[in-house]
A and B are shown apart, each in its own frame.
Chain A
């Protein structure tokens, strides 16, 4: 069981470039999400998905796109990178089920550090 796998771990982009952060989980979790972490601002939700084919916006969705074509994968796309998107990005997934069964407990990936120059 690899858990939640994020790639790449580090990336440097120039303003205006596009890229995709990959996220894959092998736990058959229905729920997947992307957060960004900035100093003093905690973990802010970008987008989330409750199942294949379903995505929704979080707190800070502007500048990011997501898709969920399979249960396992939830890529995050930066369409035109800006310096304000310099951050550490975390993908997380959880099982949606009965309370007490581990439902809603997020398993996080190791994070992807993105720098936009």
Chain B
């Protein structure tokens, strides 16, 4: 079955710097790759997703890149702000009705 590895487990950056979180997946049939943000004590919420027919997707300060050949995808946050501090999870799925498998999470801390 699918296995998703996520690095780093913790990441500390200064406000205004960029942050990059990387994930690799094992199932070459996976074609849907979402990223979720979980603030302390809250439920996870989708921040951005990408499907395998595109290599990059941007939404304001957030971008995701996908390399299907190497089976890895990354989350890029530019101009980080203290409110970006949270745990971020990557995930992978074959899409449609298939199960979604998550990585182990990255705790991002943005210091003012």
Contacts and interface: CB of A to CB of B under 8 A. Distances in A.
Interface of A: 30-31, 33, 35, 40-45, 48, 50-51, 56, 58-59, 90, 96, 99, 103-106, 108-111
Contact of A42 (B93, B96, B104): B104
Interface of B: 1, 6, 9, 32, 34, 36, 43-46, 49, 51, 89, 93, 95-97, 99-105
Contact of B99 (A33, A41, A90, A108): A33
B100 A106 contact: yes
A35 to B, nearest CB: 7
* Max chain A C-beta neighbours (<10 A), residue from B34, B100, B101, B102: B100
Nearest to A43: B102
A111 B43 contact: yes
B49 A105 contact: yes
A35 B51 CA distance: 23
A41 B87 CA distance: 12
A90 B105 contact: no
